Structure 1
Amino acid sequence: MGSLFRSEEMTLCQLFLQSEAAYACVSELGELGLVQFRDLNPDVNAFQRKFVNEVRRCDEMERKLRYLEKEIKKDGIPMLDTGESPEAPQPREMIDLEATFEKLENELREVNQNAEALKRNFLELTELKHILRKTQVFFDEAAPAIGVPNKSRTRYQQMADSHREEEQVNLLGEEGIRAGGAGAQGQNLKLGFVAGVILRERLPAFERMLWRACRGNVFLRQAMIESPLEDPSSGDKVYKSVFIIFFQGDQLKTRVKKICEGFRATLYPCPEAPTDRREMAMGVMTRIEDLNTVLGQTQDHRHRVLVAAAKNLKNWFVKVRKIKAIYHTLNLFNLDVTQKCLIAECWVPLLDMETIQIALRRGTERSGSSVPPILNRMETFEDPPTYNRTNKFTNAFQALINAYGVASYREMNPAPYTIITFPFLFAVMFGDLGHGAIMALFGLWMVLKEKPLAAKKTDNEIWNIFFGGRYIIFLMGCFSMYTGFVYNDIFSKSLNVFGSAWSINYNTSTVMSNKALQLNPGTKDYSGTPYPIGLDPVWQVSDNKIIFLNAYKMKISIIFGVIHMLFGVFVGLFNHRYFKNKLAIYCEFIPQVIFLVFLFFYMTLLMFMKWVKFSADSEKVKFSAGCAPSILITFINMVLFKPPNDAGECSPYMYAGQAGLQKFLVVIALMCVPWMLLAKPIMIMRSRKEAAHQPIAPYSNENGDAEGGLNQHNAVQAGGAQPAAGAGHAHENEEMSEIFIHQGIHTIEYVLGSVSHTASYLRLWALSLAHAQLAEVLWNMVLKNGLQQGGWIGGIALWAIFGVWAVLTVGILVLMEGLSAFLHTLRLHWVEFQSKFYAGLGYAFQPFSFEQILESSSSSTEE
């Protein structure tokens, strides 16, 4: 937990590994996940590194596994996932794995090819079966088709003119077409025909092309195949139709076949004689039955192969990816001159040095090497990576901070404070006991069902975001229940737990004849004992509720905002003290605190003073509710040095000497502006002039130089690591003009930001009021209508209206309003709070970890 407040101390190490033990040692470090390796071959092409062939072999094995996975998913076979992560296999086991995958792939491809050939043959026989069935009907109907009226002809024959129709009848003869395409006896001519199968969606275009290309001199009949047929190449179900085309002459025959070929229609031989067709149909049915038997056996063999592969596929993926990750890491190493030792550089947490040494020794023993690895700490001025240890609870809050920027090395981390302030500020805007309970129950369900929900890996991004922030959602719901209890607001209604302190002293006639009556807190209408916790429930039914809540919520928003910002400034003090940056303490922290306290914190003190001194039942006129001065007007007059207006008996001041003290506070606060603007650059300029006239000493001042940077002998800390420039605020290499500009920007940003950031916290007030009013509108306009109806009809109406109200409540007030409050809370932390102390200029510690590699690989595979 300690590293959550400030990142872990990191050290740069040099690692010497014997070539035979390097694989096993890196494997152990990958299981540990505490070492970040540096690339010592940045100028070497990826294809020219030492272990590129091993990486290619792993890529090939992964390709084969993906092919197996695709086939397994195609058949809907469940893959066994024990949740365990097998260790990375030894290099010699790669050959066995490659042989196993090669055998499975070849066997599966051969089975698939055979099955595709059998399915293609089966499709052809099935289409031929339908042709033989349908053509019998065509031949029976063909003869009368020539001599019948237009209503029984095809669409394009009906479009032909009468002259062409008469010529065709004369050409074919009076007896027409006999079964099998008998010639026209009157002219001693014979008609030819072709039969085939075509996709159903291509049939209309096919008919139009035949009509136009053959000038209406063909006779087309078609019939749909009711059941869909399976495409052997893609496995999709397609719908087809049987057709037969009668024509006369070889020229038309050639033209018809070309059109059929262009529309990818399949032509089949069809005998002319009915007896020949029956014999062929019987032969086709026999062959289809035999093919069905062979296809079943082929599918059973394929299923057995895939079931056997599915049992080990997950483990194979893990093994191959671990091997690949190890060789990728080994490619980052350097070879020494003897080619027998690998040299690596890595960042490691200082506290885990012993754990890493144990893992290296374990890897050496596994490999059977007799030469132990050597791990040496190195000195460097490079900025180390930032590493904050997190668990499943703190990880979500740390992710919110890292989304803004990774902390500089050893910089104060806002995450532990965010764990409390984030859900609390959210709850101030989302304060409703009912809505908070819904959110808390949803978060609690995800927390309690954490393991089974995490096991169901999904690529639904929205669900993954909700599940990743389950602890944040749970805390936001719990805090919202608390603030809802303080606001005494549950679905826009109140809870009268302790009894109201107000009482109605009007008689019945006065109450019934007046729509609006007021209760005076200065009389016996008010008992004088306030409601124990939160707001009195009577405010929920009062007409001036919004006026009262406006003043109340606006003031607490300003109070929370000033305290939050002031806390951020004090967190920055811990950064300055840790990095021994005394110049920043005297020239930045102190004037910032004075400016914020003397102006804005003083305004919050006036709010408390007003609440304490003025009351409705005060015996003195100047302390009555009507004489209470406006805090906003008082603050504006204070800043502008403007005397308050004379208020008669009411005093514009709350205490004696207020005018003089306020002028003093404003003058001191304004003096802090040039203090922040000029003090630090002048001190840096002065220290540079002094250093230019002094001899070079082996060590500098023990308390640090005047510029606020670290001493030479303090520059290397945590294993020789220098703090990040954003944290240490070193200015040795900056020009004076840049320092002045930089300091001017920071001063203007802080002074103007103090005003704008304080006003920005008013969003706590605005969103809280908006949420309460939306809940009230939804109750009055939806659910209230269902409660006003009686009888059994009213019960049914209430059931339906309650459903609508519940959907709108969850969809609008919980989801949409919750998302809005979440984003506003995120802005308050990123801009108003973290800008006071957080630089966020570091880079994250990314260790070589099998767990992270496997998670990223599985997520990319699912996508």
Structure 2
Amino acid sequence: MGSLFRSAEMTLCQLFLQSEAAYACVSELGELGLVQFRDLNPDVNVFQRKFVNEVRRCDEMERKLRYLEKEIKKDGIPMLDTGENPEAPQPREMIDLEATFEKLENELREVNQNAEALKRNFLELTELKQILRKTQVFFDEHEGCTNPTESMTRALISEDSIARQSGPVQLGFPEKPLDPEDYYPCFVAGVILRERIPAFERMLWRACRGNVFLRQAEIETPLEDPSTGVQVFKSVFIIFFQGDQLKTRVKKICEGFRATLYPCPEAPADRREMAMGVMTRIEDLNTVLGQTQDHRHRVLVAAAKNIKNWFVKVRKIKAIYHTLNLFNLDVTQKCLIAECWVPVLDLENIQLALRRGTERSGSSVPPILNRMDTLEDPPTYNHTNKFTSAFQTLYDSYGIASYREMNPTPYTIITFPFLFAIMFGDLGHGFLMATFGAWMILKEKPLAAKKSDNEIWNIFFGGRYIICLMGLFSMYTGLIYNDVFAKSLNIFGSSWRVYNLSRGDVEAIASDHMLDPATEDYVGYPYPLGLDPVWQLSKNKIIFQNSFKMKMSIIIGILHMLFGVAISFFNNVYFKNRLSIICEFIPQILFLTLLFFYMVVLMFIKWFMYFASSDMRDLEYSTRCAPSILITFINMVLMKNTPFEDKCKTANMYAGQSGIQTFLLFCAFVCIPWMLLAKPIMIMRGRKKASAYSVQHQPITTTTATENGDAEQPMHNNTGGQQQAPSHGAHDEEPMGEIIIHQGIHTIEYVLGSVSHTASYLRLWALSLAHAQLSEVLWNMVLNKGLVAEGWTGGIAVYIIFAVWASLTVSILVLMEGLSAFLHTLRLHWVEFCSKFYSGTGYAFQPFSFEVILDASNQAKEE
């Protein structure tokens, strides 16, 4: 459990591996996931490292697998995921994998090329079939002519005459009409994309000056583009023109618009013969295309069964060679040297993994793992599980804890949902939240297997345990507040006589009646659990809950901050920082206790001493004479007397209160210069002592030189060798001016922060009241409208209005208010709690782990 309350103890180790066993040993360490390797070649280019060729081979294999995966997804073939985690293959198996992937890629590319060529031929034949069919309609329109082109000639002549008769504006027609014998019309037929027809027609008209005759018809069924596989819509066109010059111009325009031209016989018999030949070829192509697609499907189905495992194997091989590139080679080129951070408690497991790797490789030389001494700060590693990982993430996002610093996560498991529940306290809303969290926990495995790429869902699923706990704690606080969807539960009966009135009397006085414990309405015994349900009918409910929740927020907030200061004591004890305990912890705990915790004590004194009474004989201890805690505290700080009525005799809650408060205030003010000056003065005195000590005990040295001309070496005297001066922790090399400035900022921040942080906990009170009032507004303004309706219309109204109320409740009160309370709770832990002890200046332990690498690869692929 030590690693739960404090980060795991780490050590820097040096690892010696034989070249033939290095791959297998690193593979075992990757499966274990407990070793963080350091780069021993920071100045070496990545392209000049020893295993760069192996990494490139892995990149190439991964590229081929991505190509296969893309083709599999294109055909909609499910990829088998057995959930297995295959081991990293041996280096000699890379050749087999490369050959398998090369064969699959070449075969698939060849099949795709053949299929594309066949589809292109099929497209051309289909377009030709459509041309023959559509142009037959054009020719049939002029079947009265012996020669079909003669009809088109007459059409051109008629257009010419119409154009000449229409006025002086003429588009490219000759001034004199030509004889029909002077026309030698010819035509071209083709297919073009349907959306290009208008621009194509305008270009033909302008470029040919109107000396063309264009007919077009749409192809009803879409055609598949063989290159992209996209369905496109096309149209058939036929263009009649005169002369070779126009023919060249028309063909260039067709080429510019990417229209495909096809031969179209002029004679009907030739067209019918060509159409029969085209149909025969289309049927043959359909047969060949079907066989090609079947072969492609069989190849992809076979690949889909193993592609998941292939990805895992290739990524593991690549990760191993990436890690081996971080190692150094010794002078014999037979041994690899690595440096790594490892948890001390897991050294035995790491040794076993290295032994397994050596046995797998068949090496006879065992690996060597030596612990090293270093002044470098180790990484921070906190053992977590699926329950604690979500809470640990909250603090890791704020800042990674320093090495061996107190880990606040175990305490946050309780304090976080509890502070949230104070703001979100509602039995009904808490039940909805707890049910949602419990559903995600119970369906954890199937939901995790889906691997959704929805970021919001992943956030909810990652915090499922937090959501469940927040809901359960909210149910508890909702029971204390006796608040269920803005209504109360009558479990134990009321302690007020007003509860015994008839329903009509209660409804008549509900809006004006105020509950007063001093009257005869109060029976005299407290409600067993939480608030009395009759407070829902009272006019002064808000006044009562204001006082109750505000005092509760202050009490919980000050206890929470005191707990944070107490944790700093355990940090200083662990790091043997006696100076911080004397100069920081003691004045901080005194300042917070003597001022703010004293205010909490006054609250409890007031609750125990004063009571509601209408008897004038008990006026001194009645609520009328009860002093205000806030006024008393303010006057204590300002050293003023609290005013009181003459009938109350005194403003003090106990004898000698004024003197005790003056003494507490004096001690609290003394703590401020204590925090400000004590630490710099003690550091300064320690440095002076260390300087005087080093001068008095300076060792006798003689100057010597080695044969190679090395620098001077100090020679110690015979009285005990070179001794160390007293150590002063991390402040030995820090300039004195910076220490004073840092201590001044820290003191000001703590003193002012004690006031602002105490006030910040009032958000517990404010959000709790806001949530309750919003819930009441939804009940009275929405759902209550349907409940007051009578008859069959009331049933319909309730059905509709309940749906509206439920939607608003979930979207506003559960989601939006829940998010708001979550963020405020997060702020209370990050700022008000962590500022007392948490430095968060460390860096995370990032071990070489196949599980982490594979998860990161899957997430990157989904994005």
Give TM-score scaled by structure 1 length.
0.92
Displacement after TM superposition at 1:233 (Å): 0.7
Distance 1:353 1:158, change over 3 A: farther
- Report the secondary structure of 2:457's partner residue: helix
Displacement after TM superposition at 1:163 (Å): 6.2
User: What letter matches 2:139 in structure 1?
Assistant: F
8 Å Cα contact 1:638/1:662 also seen in 2: yes
- Report the secondary structure of 1:390's partner residue: coil
8 Å Cα contact 1:172/1:187 also seen in 2: no
- Report the secondary structure of 2:647's partner residue: coil
Q: Which has the higher mean CA deviation after the structures are superposed, 61-70 or 644-653?
A: 644-653
Distance 1:158 1:811, change over 3 A: farther
Distance 1:377 1:611, change over 3 A: same
- Report the secondary structure of 2:26's partner residue: helix
User: What letter matches 1:289 in structure 2?
Assistant: E
CA distance in 1, matches of 2:433, 2:722: 59
* Per-residue Cα deviation, 1:722-770 (whole angstroms, up to 9, x for no partner): xxxxxxxx10110000100011111011001111111111111111111
Give the match for residue 626 of structure 2: 628
Tell me, yes or no, if structure 1 residue 543 matches structure 2 residue 539.
Answer: yes
Distance 1:159 1:517, change over 3 A: farther
Tell me, yes or no, if structure 1 residue 228 matches structure 2 residue 222.
Answer: yes
Displacement after TM superposition at 1:542 (Å): 2.1
Q: Which has the higher mean CA deviation after the structures are superposed, 273-282 or 434-443?
A: 273-282
8 Å Cα contact 1:160/1:216 also seen in 2: no
CA distance in 2, matches of 1:464, 1:602: 45
8 Å Cα contact 1:146/1:169 also seen in 2: no
- Report the secondary structure of 2:731's partner residue: coil
**Counterparts of residues 434-833 of structure 1 (less than 5 Å):** 434-504=428-498, 512=508, 516-617=512-613, 619=615, 620-650=618-648, 651-694=650-693, 695=697, 705=726, 707=728, 709=729, 730-833=730-833
CA distance in 2, matches of 1:628, 1:130: 100
Give the match for residue 5 of structure 1: 5
User: What letter matches 1:558 in structure 2?
Assistant: I
Displacement after TM superposition at 1:246 (Å): 1.9
- Report the secondary structure of 1:412's partner residue: coil
CA distance in 1, matches of 2:290, 2:449: 35
Give the match for residue 115 of structure 1: 115
CA distance in 1, matches of 2:258, 2:231: 17
Match of 2:337 among 334, 343, 351: 343
8 Å Cα contact 1:147/1:169 also seen in 2: no
CA RMSD of superposed structures (Å): 2.5
Give the match for residue 404 of structure 1: 398
Displacement after TM superposition at 1:643 (Å): 1.4
Displacement after TM superposition at 1:510 (Å): 10
* Per-residue Cα deviation, 1:681-715 (whole angstroms, up to 9, x for no partner): 000000110111112687989xx9573x2xxxxxx
Displacement after TM superposition at 1:160 (Å): 11
- Report the secondary structure of 1:626's partner residue: coil
Give the match for residue 368 of structure 1: 362
CA distance in 2, matches of 1:171, 1:320: 80
CA distance in 2, matches of 1:14, 1:629: 69
CA distance in 1, matches of 2:197, 2:811: 49
- Report the secondary structure of 1:596's partner residue: helix
User: What letter matches 1:628 in structure 2?
Assistant: A
Q: Which has the higher mean CA deviation after the structures are superposed, 516-525 or 293-302?
A: 516-525
- Report the secondary structure of 1:649's partner residue: helix
Distance 1:36 1:452, change over 3 A: same
8 Å Cα contact 1:684/1:706 also seen in 2: no
Displacement after TM superposition at 1:215 (Å): 2.6
8 Å Cα contact 1:171/1:187 also seen in 2: no
**Counterparts of residues 45-60 of structure 1 (less than 5 Å):** 45-60=45-60
Q: Which has the higher mean CA deviation after the structures are superposed, 673-682 or 603-612?
A: 603-612
Match of 2:206 among 212, 216, 219: 212
Q: Which has the higher mean CA deviation after the structures are superposed, 683-692 or 188-197?
A: 188-197
* Per-residue Cα deviation, 1:781-805 (whole angstroms, up to 9, x for no partner): 2211221222223222221221121
8 Å Cα contact 2:510/2:539 also seen in 1: no
Distance 1:134 1:520, change over 3 A: same
**Counterparts of residues 324-339 of structure 1 (less than 5 Å):** 324-339=318-333
- Report the secondary structure of 1:376's partner residue: strand
8 Å Cα contact 1:683/1:706 also seen in 2: no
Q: Which has the higher mean CA deviation after the structures are superposed, 640-649 or 845-854?
A: 640-649
Give the match for residue 234 of structure 2: 240
User: What letter matches 2:658 in structure 1?
Assistant: A
Give the match for residue 104 of structure 1: 104
- Report the secondary structure of 1:472's partner residue: helix
- Report the secondary structure of 2:100's partner residue: helix
User: What letter matches 1:420 in structure 2?
Assistant: I
- Report the secondary structure of 1:661's partner residue: helix
8 Å Cα contact 1:558/1:761 also seen in 2: yes
Displacement after TM superposition at 1:334 (Å): 0.5
Distance 1:469 1:92, change over 3 A: same
Tell me, yes or no, if structure 1 residue 72 matches structure 2 residue 46.
Answer: no
Distance 1:706 1:304, change over 3 A: closer
Give TM-score scaled by structure 2 length.
0.92
User: What letter matches 1:772 in structure 2?
Assistant: A
8 Å Cα contact 1:430/1:771 also seen in 2: yes
Unaligned runs of 5+ in 1: 174-184, 710-729
Q: Which has the higher mean CA deviation after the structures are superposed, 652-661 or 96-105?
A: 652-661
* Per-residue Cα deviation, 1:83-128 (whole angstroms, up to 9, x for no partner): 1111111100000100000000000000000001111111111111
CA distance in 2, matches of 1:599, 1:698: 53
* Per-residue Cα deviation, 1:200-237 (whole angstroms, up to 9, x for no partner): 22222222222222232222222111111111111111
Distance 1:302 1:158, change over 3 A: farther
User: What letter matches 1:295 in structure 2?
Assistant: L
Distance 1:385 1:514, change over 3 A: closer
Give the match for residue 721 of structure 1: none
CA distance in 2, matches of 1:757, 1:586: 24
* Per-residue Cα deviation, 1:611-630 (whole angstroms, up to 9, x for no partner): 22111137510211222211
Displacement after TM superposition at 1:248 (Å): 2.1
Displacement after TM superposition at 1:171 (Å): 8.6
Distance 1:824 1:163, change over 3 A: same
Displacement after TM superposition at 1:541 (Å): 2.4
CA distance in 2, matches of 1:67, 1:762: 59
Distance 1:706 1:625, change over 3 A: farther
CA distance in 1, matches of 2:591, 2:277: 101
Displacement after TM superposition at 1:567 (Å): 0.1
Q: Which has the higher mean CA deviation after the structures are superposed, 136-145 or 482-491?
A: 136-145
8 Å Cα contact 1:385/1:843 also seen in 2: yes
CA distance in 2, matches of 1:160, 1:545: 96
Give the match for residue 411 of structure 2: 417
8 Å Cα contact 2:511/2:539 also seen in 1: no
Question: How many residues in Structure 1 have an aligned counterpart in Structure 2?
Answer: 826
Displacement after TM superposition at 1:57 (Å): 0.4
Distance 1:339 1:186, change over 3 A: closer
User: What letter matches 1:327 in structure 2?
Assistant: Y
- Report the secondary structure of 1:246's partner residue: strand
Q: Which has the higher mean CA deviation after the structures are superposed, 256-265 or 596-605?
A: 256-265
* Per-residue Cα deviation, 1:8-27 (whole angstroms, up to 9, x for no partner): 11111111111111111111
Give the match for residue 852 of structure 1: 852
Displacement after TM superposition at 1:162 (Å): 5.4
Displacement after TM superposition at 1:452 (Å): 1.0
- Report the secondary structure of 2:646's partner residue: coil
Structure 1 vs Structure 2: percent identity of aligned residues?
76
